[in-house]
RNA sequence: GGGAGCAUAGCUCAGCUGGUUAGAGCACUUGCCUUACAAGCAAGAGGCCAUAGGUUCGAGUCCUAUUGUUCCCACCA
């Protein structure tokens, strides 16, 4: 209830609204727009919370933080989600109708997402919200495409492409998931003259598509066959036998059939040796009807039938059970086929070196995550296919000349445009023809998601320079690179990679100076939380309800950056303990501030100076850690200070001075008031980024406004900020440590003797450095009260 | 097969550029109702810092190798 109250207060007072009039020290954050494909899970909360905590930190450092949220609603993930949710097939209804259903569904979920994000207290400026299917974003995405196409960085090509027969679309390498599957190795005899060459294959249904046989040039067993012809069983046609060093001698029989297309290797050989193409598997996942024996069957039945025929024909030597890893489509788990078709691609293979070197200009946190990017770029085998034969996406702004086939691009003033609904209003500049056919494909969702810096900066530019188009107004480049990107490590090969690629192409610049990469929340070691398993247990809405948003946030700031973690509801005990402690501690300090005047900023007692200096030190240390995105390590440091130094020691020391000015003196009490106020307000500020509701609630309820002149805790700055560095006196801090040791020894003694803490003792002898004696004498009354000692004596260490 | 991370108390983890008896929280044991907090306070027990070498006056920290573990990439014949 208190959290909701505080959230309403923030919203009403526009605490987190971006202020375009403050043009200095703008800090821009490229924050992940969640995909609208179901629920936000605990992993989102974990990673979003870490980013958000950092954003709050920057705000409290005095930066004008540009921190928008977006929703990635367009694209295949949303389509698949809608198909499942409504139990429909996109292909079964009209394009418009399906688009409409997707729009409605995504809109509905966006509202849910937004309300969940708000209930976490995430300080996005929701006025800056964007959606990737919106007109503005479609315009940016289409502009990007046209620019790339005009510079030949994007191109149209007929060639073998990765194909998902389930989703009925081409896909990109980044969308492949390796999956271990059970299969059989079938050993099949191919006749070569009067000899038999045995071949092992997992895909006998492709026998009719065999175009060649390869052996390794170092494989003495088979050299005699090279350049001869082999006869394909069942189909009885001849194929050449060639040698290629890429053939693994110890795999199968060491002789391999190359079909069009069984796998990526086939494509490689197809290109390398200009092999003929045989159209076996069609886009809907069935065999070409013209193929003998298996025409029109699906792949599985075709395989079974061929195996049966081979057996009957005594052409199956043996079959061997194996498990092998196949590429599946990440959205539906269906095995990927390779089928030639005409698609739009973005050039990657020619830019690998630049893509590798430019990564060095970005600061990676944690640094080792850069390796994943490097490994990915190094291993890319395909240019980025950006066409999708789908519906709920950004259309290609392209028409094809009916006469000569030339692709004609939309004029920029037409954008955003759907070529299906809008005629190309010009003549073909190649042949002059004025009849066109529209491109029906839409773009890969990443083709748009990879433009989040451009989207963010266009919106920022709109606010500041009143001009929305980043591609036209180069002023916007002043904000490029953005200050930071944040994300989890699973999308380095997609979001990170594609964004860097596009930024390189459009601006020849890195997209952001820093990238902060969070870990994953796992159910147990190595196992991602899936939607089916333990959905309720990890449902953020339920967790907020049972544990509060602040508790989840505090938990999210528990780890080192980039490290995967587990969610255990038991961990929430710690959090509750902490929140109660902060509440009680605040209550105590506030109860002694009734007559406190902020103008009397003076700590006269050394022990008060100690805690103020220690506070400053912890602020400085926390700043250093968080600047390196280590919000978890910073939190632990702050916890330690808050709990041990402030609560367990300092408060115990000054308690009586606060309660009994008659014994300790009015001035002395004021000094304690000031020190405890200073510490509390700074502790609240430190924790404001982690537990914004609780701290704000304390701030409001205790009417801190009268001291700090700000309606909200979150509009205050940390003592150490953009313009101010805190200082602290190590000598005084050392003295404070000595006092803590002293107290600890007395407590130990009492504990060993089973004495109550409040039982008095006759005398305490302090062993200290001579130069600190005056400090201790200054603290004597406090110590007598705290230790319940009757008198204090001294000895000195050298 | 290539690469990266991790290996410290029963559990979850800190230990920065090598420096005195290795830290925290949870759990455990004991004591304490202390004018904020028993969801608390105090004290205690618990570690050949994965293994083996090496560098160094000195290694949890640096180097080499090994083992275990997790992840990324590759592996579809």
Residues A113 and A356: their CA atoms lie apart, in Å, by 36
Nearest-nucleotide field for A585 (CA, C1')? B36
Positions of E strands within A596-671: none
Residues A67 and A300: their CA atoms lie apart, in Å, by 50
Whether the CB of A574 is less than 7 Å away from nucleic strand B comes out as: yes
Whether the CB of A214 is less than 7 Å away from nucleic strand B comes out as: yes
> Straight-line distance from CA A193 to C1' B32, in Å?
97
Rounded to the nearest angstrom, the gap between the alpha carbon of residue A86 and the centroid of all alpha carbons in its chain is 29
Whether the CB of A573 is less than 7 Å away from nucleic strand B comes out as: yes
CA atoms within 13 A on the CB side of A178: 4
Whether the CB of A778 is less than 7 Å away from nucleic strand B comes out as: no
Whether the CB of A200 is less than 7 Å away from nucleic strand B comes out as: yes
Q: Which of chain A's residues 359-388 bind strand B, using a 7 Å CB cutoff?
A: 368, 371-372, 375-376, 378-379, 381
> Straight-line distance from CA A742 to C1' B62, in Å?
38
> Straight-line distance from CA A734 to C1' B55, in Å?
36
Q: Which of chain A's residues 248-307 bind strand B, using a 7 Å CB cutoff?
A: 248, 251-252, 256-257, 262-265
Nearest-nucleotide field for A251 (CA, C1')? B77
Residues A248 and A256: their CA atoms lie apart, in Å, by 9
Nearest-nucleotide field for A752 (CA, C1')? B43
**Cβ-contact A621, A750 below 8 angstroms:** no
Nearest-nucleotide field for A660 (CA, C1')? B35
Whether the CB of A201 is less than 7 Å away from nucleic strand B comes out as: yes
User: Given this model, what pLDDT does residue A466 score?
Assistant: 75
Residues in a beta bridge with A35: A72
**Cβ-contact A681, A586 below 8 angstroms:** no
Nearest-nucleotide field for A493 (CA, C1')? B72
**Cβ-contact A394, A142 below 8 angstroms:** yes
> Straight-line distance from CA A335 to C1' B76, in Å?
10
CA atoms within 13 A on the CB side of A369: 25
Which element (helix H / strand E) includes A635?
helix A631-640
Nearest-nucleotide field for A747 (CA, C1')? B42
> Straight-line distance from CA A480 to C1' B18, in Å?
41
Residues A143 and A135: their CA atoms lie apart, in Å, by 12
Smallest Cα–C1' distance to nucleotide B75: which residue has it? A325
Nearest-nucleotide field for A372 (CA, C1')? B72
Whether the CB of A45 is less than 7 Å away from nucleic strand B comes out as: no
Residues A475 and A523: their CA atoms lie apart, in Å, by 46
Smallest Cα–C1' distance to nucleotide B77: which residue has it? A256
Q: Which of chain A's residues 519-538 bind strand B, using a 7 Å CB cutoff?
A: 525-527
> Straight-line distance from CA A636 to C1' B47, in Å?
22
Smallest Cα–C1' distance to nucleotide B69: which residue has it? A525
- Crossing angle (nearest 10°) for helices A76-86 and A95-119: 100
Nearest-nucleotide field for A751 (CA, C1')? B43
Residues in a beta bridge with A522: A528, A566
Residue ranges of alpha helices (H) inside A380-472 are 445-449, 452-465
Smallest Cα–C1' distance to nucleotide B5: which residue has it? A368
> Straight-line distance from CA A719 to C1' B31, in Å?
41
Whether the CB of A456 is less than 7 Å away from nucleic strand B comes out as: no
Residues A145 and A151: their CA atoms lie apart, in Å, by 10
Distances (CA, A) of A185 to A247, A307, A339: 17, 11, 23
> Straight-line distance from CA A706 to C1' B37, in Å?
26
- Crossing angle (nearest 10°) for helices A549-556 and A42-59: 80
> Straight-line distance from CA A559 to C1' B48, in Å?
29
> Straight-line distance from CA A637 to C1' B14, in Å?
10
Distances (CA, A) of A506 to A22, A200, A458, A463: 28, 48, 14, 22
Residues A561 and A630: their CA atoms lie apart, in Å, by 6
Measured to protein CB atoms, the chain B nucleotides within 7 Å are 2-5, 12-15, 24-27, 30-37, 39-44, 69-77
**Sequential DSSP letters for A671-740:** HHHHHHHHHHHHHHHHHHTTSHHHHHHHHHHTTTHHHH--S-GGGS--SSBTTB-----HHHHHHHHHHH
**Sequential DSSP letters for A520-576:** -EEEETTEEPPSSTTTTTT-HHHHHHHH-HHHHHHHHTTS-TT--EE--GGGHHHHH
Nearest-nucleotide field for A259 (CA, C1')? B77
Whether the CB of A215 is less than 7 Å away from nucleic strand B comes out as: no
Whether the CB of A663 is less than 7 Å away from nucleic strand B comes out as: no
Nearest-nucleotide field for A522 (CA, C1')? B70
- Over residues A237-261, the pLDDT tens digits come to 999 999 998 898 888 899 999 999 9
- Over residues A590-622, the pLDDT tens digits come to 999 999 988 877 899 999 999 999 999 999 999
pTM listed for this prediction: 0.94
Residue given tokens 């950092």 in the structure block: A54
**Cβ-contact A355, A506 below 8 angstroms:** no
Residues in a beta bridge with A769: A797
Q: Which residues of chain A are under the pLDDT cut of 70?
A: 467-469, 473-477, 524-536
Q: Which of chain A's residues 174-193 bind strand B, using a 7 Å CB cutoff?
A: 176, 178, 183, 185
Whether the CB of A620 is less than 7 Å away from nucleic strand B comes out as: no
Nearest-nucleotide field for A248 (CA, C1')? B77
Q: Is residue A119 left, alpha or beta, with left meaning phi > 0 and alpha meaning psi from -120 to 50?
A: alpha
Nearest-nucleotide field for A559 (CA, C1')? B13
Q: Would you tell me how many other CB atoms lie within 10 Å of the CB of residue A364?
A: 20
For A395, list phi and psi in degrees, rounded to 5: -70, 155
């Amino acid at each position: 209830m208190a959290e909701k109250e505080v959230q309403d207060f923030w919203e009403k007072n526009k605490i987190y609204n971006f202020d375009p009039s403050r043009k200095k020290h703008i800090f821009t954050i490229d924050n992940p727009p969640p995909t609208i494909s179901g629920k936000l899970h605990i992993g989102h909360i974990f990673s979003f919370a870490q980013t958000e905590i950092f954003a709050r930190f920057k705000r409290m450092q005095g930066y004008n933080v540009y921190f928008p949220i977006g929703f990635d609603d367009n694209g295949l993930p949303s389509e698949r989600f809608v198909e499942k949710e409504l139990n429909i097939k996109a292909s079964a209804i009209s394009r418009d109708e399906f688009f409409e259903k997707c729009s409605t569904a995504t809109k509905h979920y966006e509202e849910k997402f937004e309300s969940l994000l708000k209930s976490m207290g995430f300080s996005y400026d929701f006025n800056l919200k964007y959606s990737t299917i919106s007109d503005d974003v479609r315009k940016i995405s289409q502009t990007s495409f046209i620019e790339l196409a005009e510079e030949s960085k994007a191109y149209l090509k007929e060639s073998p492409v990765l194909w998902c027969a389930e989703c009925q679309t081409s896909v990109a390498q980044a969308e492949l998931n390796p999956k271990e599957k059970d299969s059989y190795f079938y050993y099949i005899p191919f006749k070569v003259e009067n000899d038999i060459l045995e071949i092992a294959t997992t895909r006998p249904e492709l026998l009719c598509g065999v175009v060649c046989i390869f052996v390794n040039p170092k494989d003495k067993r088979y050299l005699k066959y090279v350049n001869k012809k082999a006869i394909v069983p069942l189909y009885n046609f001849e194929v050449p036998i060639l040698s290629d060093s890429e053939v693994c001698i110890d795999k199968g029989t060491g002789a391999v059939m190359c079909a069009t297309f069984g796998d990526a290797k086939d494509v490689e050989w197809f290109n390398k040796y200009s092999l003929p193409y045989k159209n076996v598997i069609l886009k809907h996942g069935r065999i070409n009807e013209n193929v003998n024996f298996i025409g029109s069957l699906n792949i599985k039945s075709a395989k079974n039938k061929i195996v049966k025929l081979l057996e009957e024909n005594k052409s199956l030597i043996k079959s061997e059970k194996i498990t092998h890893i196949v590429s599946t489509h990440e959205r539906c788990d269906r095995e990927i086929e390779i089928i030639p078709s005409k698609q739009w691609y973005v050039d990657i293979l020619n830019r690998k070196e630049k893509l590798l070197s430019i990564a060095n200009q970005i600061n990676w946190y944690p640094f080792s995550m850069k390796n994943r990017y490097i490994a990915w770029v190094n291993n890319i085998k395909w240019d980025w296919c950006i066409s999708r034969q789908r519906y709920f996406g950004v259309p290609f702004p392209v028409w094809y000349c009916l006469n000569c086939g030339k692709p004609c691009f939309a004029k920029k003033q037409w954008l955003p445009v759907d070529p299906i609904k809008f005629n190309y209003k010009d003549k073909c500049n190649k042949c002059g023809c004025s009849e066109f056919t529209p491109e029906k494909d839409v773009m890969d969702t990443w083709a748009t998601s990879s433009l989040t810096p451009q989207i963010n900066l266009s919106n920022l530019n709109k606010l500041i320079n009143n001009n929305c188009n980043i591609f036209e107004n180069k002023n916007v480049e002043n904000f490029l690179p953005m200050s930071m990107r944040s994300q989890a490590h699973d999308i380095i090969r997609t979001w990170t990679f594609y964004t860097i690629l596009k930024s390189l192409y459009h601006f020849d610049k890195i997209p952001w100076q820093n990238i902060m990469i969070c870990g994953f929340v796992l159910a147990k070691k190595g196992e991602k939380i899936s939607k089916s398993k333990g959905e309720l247990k990890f449902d953020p809405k339920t967790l907020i309800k049972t544990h509060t948003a602040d508790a989840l946030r505090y938990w999210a700031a528990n780890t080192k950056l980039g490290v995967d973690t587990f969610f255990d509801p038991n961990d929430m005990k710690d959090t509750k303990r902490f929140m109660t402690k902060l509440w009680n501690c605040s209550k105590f300090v506030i109860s002694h501030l009734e007559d406190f005047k902020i103008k009397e900023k003076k700590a006269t007692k050394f022990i008060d100076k100690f805690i103020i200096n220690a506070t400053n030190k912890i602020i400085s240390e926390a700043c250093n850690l968080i600047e390196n995105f280590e919000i978890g390590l910073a939190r632990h440091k702050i916890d330690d200070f808050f709990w041990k130094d402030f609560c367990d020691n300092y408060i115990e020391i000054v308690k009586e001075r606060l309660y009994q000015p008659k014994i300790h003196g009015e001035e002395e009490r004021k000094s304690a008031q000031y020190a405890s106020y200073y510490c509390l307000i700074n502790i609240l500020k430190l924790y404001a980024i982690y537990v914004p509701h609780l701290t704000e609630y304390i701030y409001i309820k205790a009417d801190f406004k009268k001291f700090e002149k700000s309606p909200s805790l979150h509009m205050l700055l940390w003592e150490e900020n953009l313009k101010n560095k805190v200082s602290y006196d190590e000598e005084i801090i050392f003295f404070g440590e000595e006092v803590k040791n002293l107290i600890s020894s007395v407590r130990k003694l009492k504990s060993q003797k089973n004495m109550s803490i409040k039982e008095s003792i006759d005398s305490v002898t302090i062993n200290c450095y001579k130069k600190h004696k005056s400090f201790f004498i200054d603290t004597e009354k406090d110590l007598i009260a705290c230790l319940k000692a009757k008198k204090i004596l001294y000895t000195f260490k050298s």
